[in-house]
Homo-oligomer: A and B are copies of this chain.
Amino acid sequence: MADPRFFRLAGPFTVAELAARIGAELAGAADPARVILDVAPLDRATRDHLSFLANDAYRAAFRNSRAGALIAHPDAVADAPPEAALLVTAAPYRAFALAAQAFYPEPPPLAGIAPSAVVDPTAQLGEGCAVEPNAVIGARVEIGRRCQIGANAVIGPGCVLGDDVRVGANASLSHCLIGSRVRLYPGVRIGQDGFGFDYNPSGFAKIPQLGRVIIQDDVEIGANTTVDRGAGPDTVIGQGTMIDNLCQIAHNVTIGRLCVLQAQVGISGSTRLGDHVVIQGQGGLMGHLTIGDRAKIGAQCGVMKSVPADAAMLGSPAQPIQDFFRQMSWLARAAKRRGS
């Protein structure tokens, strides 16, 4: 059971209720009325727990699990322990996500404005919003319903937020328009000036950064990640995209829908990502590139040229992943064979 200092357990649920909630078929001999109290890992689950198999590396633990109920793919049913109620689905990890959300629903914001928060009188907040202590909300800000503005967060003048947005502690926003169900983790920086100036040996001249940051619905942006506003065009993050901690999104970057950026990724100015692009940790993209839909950019990859749709790249400079590994293994053999 999750630490009750931090998490509240809902339920219990019967196996039948869980099957309905997660869209799984009930299988095996178990009683649909069997009561499940909590989720647990395969090896620690007991008769009161729900667990799951989503990765074949855990097949043995699945076979031996004492869980009262198990989520599994149809292919795994034959291996299931006989005592478990089976919840069979083609997407067991997603089904587990839904089940875990049922047992540990996220508490809604505790509506109300903390007395220490500073909310400009011209700001508008929808119903059900929570503004935590010492948060600062600037002039003409518009915030939708049921938003949570974390302690010590700062929302600069004129920003617009949709419904059900969560802004983490100590985050700061300016010059941005944000959709609904967006989550900005603690320390996120949205909307500051892009890094734009005229290079010149006698000193730099700053180019006014006159664009905004547009964040579409359902986006998550990880802790201490920075997203600069556009120089003229906007910086845009597409619907449903997930961005991890400590990433850098430069001015004018456009990211498509349902992309995944792992931690410490950096994207330089004006680069455009299609939909479903995945960039692994510490990957870096130069500016003014185009990355096609569903491209996969590996960890620490350094992308200097545009990448077509569906490509998988690795290395710095980036190459198709097979070329990269072929070169690395050829080099290892050649250096060994011919001595050093």
User: Which residue in B3, B154, B228, B240 is a CB contact (below 8 Å) of A151?
Assistant: B154
A158-B5, A186-B192, A268-B262 given as contacts; is B136 within 8 A of A151 (CB)?
A: yes
Interface assignment of A180: CB less than 8 Å from any CB of chain B: no
Find the B residue at minimum CB distance from A326. B340
CA distance A157 to B282 in the complex (A): 32
CA distance A71 to B175 in the complex (A): 28
- Minimum C-beta distance from A211 to chain B (A): 7
CB pair A268 B246 closer than 8 Å: no
Find the B residue at minimum CB distance from A268. B281
A228 contact set on B, CB distance < 8 A = 223, 245
Besides the known contacts A6-B158, A104-B210, A195-B244, 5 further A-B residue pairs in the complex with CB atoms under 8 A apart: A93-B198, A116-B116, A284-B299, A299-B304, A330-B334
Which of A12-20, A73-81, A200-208 lies at the interface?
A200-208
Interface assignment of A226: CB less than 8 Å from any CB of chain B: yes
* A–B pairs, 20, beta carbons within 8 Å: A3-B158, A39-B210, A41-B232, A97-B208, A101-B208, A134-B152, A136-B169, A152-B172, A156-B169, A169-B172, A187-B224, A195-B222, A203-B240, A203-B258, A263-B268, A264-B264, A266-B282, A317-B328, A323-B332, A327-B331
Total interface residues on A, CB under 8 Å, equals: 110
A192-B223, A240-B203, A282-B266 given as contacts; is B152 within 8 A of A170 (CB)?
A: yes
A317 contact set on B, CB distance < 8 A = 328
CB pair A281 B284 closer than 8 Å: yes
Secondary structure dominating the interface of A: loop
Interface assignment of A150: CB less than 8 Å from any CB of chain B: yes
CB pair B248 A248 closer than 8 Å: no
**Hey, which bits of chain A sit against chain B, CB under 8 A?**
2-3, 5-7, 39, 41, 91, 93-94, 96-98, 100-101, 103-104, 106, 114, 116, 118, 132-134, 136, 138, 140, 150-152, 154, 156-158, 160, 168-172, 174-175, 185-187, 189, 192-193, 195, 197-201, 203-208, 210-212, 218, 222-224, 226, 228, 232-233, 240, 242, 244-246, 248, 250, 258, 260, 262-264, 266, 268, 276, 281-282, 284, 286, 299-300, 302, 304, 316-317, 319, 323, 326-332, 334-336, 338, 340
CA distance A206 to B183 in the complex (A): 12
A323 contact set on B, CB distance < 8 A = 332, 335
CB pair A136 B152 closer than 8 Å: yes
CB pair B266 A263 closer than 8 Å: yes
CB pair A284 B260 closer than 8 Å: no
CB pair B332 A327 closer than 8 Å: yes
